A and B are shown apart, each in its own frame.
Chain A
């Protein structure tokens, strides 16, 4: 038996961004985020250079790609997310993960995870939707949430299809609606969509909100309003899935 690993790397190859987390003794020691781009494997070795660890675990939609290119094990982002939740909010009974392309809701507990739901092939209620809308309104993505929070009230947005919503936004601007109000309306509509999907699982008393979209303060506030339970929002929510993968690496040397 080799000794239990003390350090592990989690690689979350997502649709928009790749996240790398190295944990040492259960804490994040290093974290890297870069554009996944069209050839993510090409950049991976350079990014991993200088990072030493006893175990490597890949996750995210590109997990099998990573596993095929370097010695590591692969777990789904659903399992990694659930593992991260136990670390970030042990009292949470569910996790909502909104990423660039996927939205997931997962029941979690001390023994792992239970039922889960995922969006189908549609960008509604994902980071991609907000990204397109921010661009349509002329905001930088990183300012989009903060600007929306400055609105006095939301304008109702009825389309959740990324393509239709974009033209709805254009016509709202043409009608002279304020940009911030439209922005808030888009956040509320997205939060409703996420909450409706998340309600298909048992959310419990407290849910944890992770994924890149959880960096958006307006999404955190809007989702808090829409959900019937408490909502915990960790720091660096975009790293949660990579963190979960790294933690699994610490626990499962055999999976390597």
Chain B
């Protein structure tokens, strides 16, 4: 908190609760991220970005809005950021990654929904989310049942829901393209800015640059002697979802430069004999480092992450060579429709992709991360575990929420997985 408290209070936040939240997030971050040995110095930017999420970043968005720009809150990586940027608006991912806010959601909503949705609702209903009062439009989508009903609760005029179909048929693609076009119309209406081929092309190139840089980071992560931990790579991903993209790209480029130097000098975060793990499944949004931390503090290394805060976010560029607005919107729709969320049926592409990623990263084992009550990732984990077994890759499925009470049991299972690789 760098002197932004006055602003936060003016935005109507419950400052006492907000103080608790910030203290809680800070403690988690110190214990699970800052405590790691041998971190790259350039991680300082990303540490600060997480720290200033409720500080400088809020001030920045506040000032941008005063200058006429709009802020658009998102809850899923299916929301095409290109469209938001093309209209000069600012997208910010608002998913909750903290156990702290969950009791505020459980006062009203069922306990049997995933911690990500509960944490998000809890932040909204505890008056501690500083983005809520700045938000000009929130964009939901139809990926899962808990989220669909969340939109009914949070919804209203300032809410737009993208209908994401759950089959990969031509009819579904046509529906999705219509949804992407309608979203562009909604954003134009909100901002009063006409989205053109030129602005869309620029936004697509910027987003592609971001994807390319994150892809290179993943390349370092899966190298033979990784110069960066999976936990730090996750922090970078979390910042990607909330930060100003130009500045973010610059910071990632500097980090990559340092990683290149580390590789030349033979600096690695891998301890001798450390086992390599692919983490696959649900996202870990800002505030959530639980499973990454257990794996990496048990002597293994997360060398790849198949999730919405991993490969699903940065794989597949948009074809930015299209010259018309319509052509670019179609290319954007195509790109986002290639994300293999477990909400699709069938979803063979994701099953194959996890096996392929594990092999490419030379993973010794795969840990599937399932947020409690996320039925589609939980069910799909069964098929993926079978496919991994056929491929000769040991795996473990961990279903858990944000609370730390089961960390001991998760640690036992992860350590046993690692021991099994040795024996």
Contact = CB atoms under 8 A, between A and B. Distances in A.
Interface of A: 61, 75-79, 102, 111-116, 118, 120-121
Interface string B411-423: 0110110011001
B419 A102 contact: no
B423 A79 contact: yes
B419 A121 contact: no
16 contacts: A61-B409, A61-B412, A76-B412, A76-B415, A78-B412, A78-B413, A78-B419, A79-B416, A111-B423, A113-B420, A115-B394, A116-B413, A118-B409, A118-B412, A120-B406, A121-B405
A113 B423 contact: yes
B272 interface: no
B399 interface: yes
A116 B412 CA distance: 11
B346 interface: no
Contacts of A115: 394
Interface residues of B, number: 13
Nearest to A82: B423
B37 interface: no
A77 B412 contact: yes
Interface in B67-110: none
B273 interface: no
B416 A121 contact: no
Contacts of B413: 78, 116, 118
Interface in B371-400: 394, 399
Nearest to B409: A118
A79 B406 CA distance: 20
Interface of B: 394, 399, 405-406, 408-409, 412-413, 415-416, 419-420, 423
B423 A112 contact: yes
A77 B416 CA distance: 8
A120 B399 contact: yes
A201 to B, nearest CB: 12
Given A113-B420, A118-B409, 7 more contacts: A76-B412, A76-B416, A76-B419, A79-B419, A79-B420, A113-B423, A116-B413
Contacts of A116: 413, 416
A172 to B, nearest CB: 28
A124 B399 CA distance: 17
Contacts of A111: 423
A74 to B, nearest CB: 9
A116 to B, nearest CB: 6
B420 A114 contact: yes
B409 A102 contact: yes
Contacts of A79: 416, 419-420, 423
A43 B416 CA distance: 27
Nearest to A60: B412
- Most chain A Cβ neighbours within 10 Å, of B399, B409, B416, B423: B416
- Most chain B Cβ neighbours within 10 Å, of A75, A77, A79: A79
Contacts of A102: 409
Contacts of B415: 76
Contacts of B405: 121
A195 B423 CA distance: 27
A115 B399 CA distance: 16
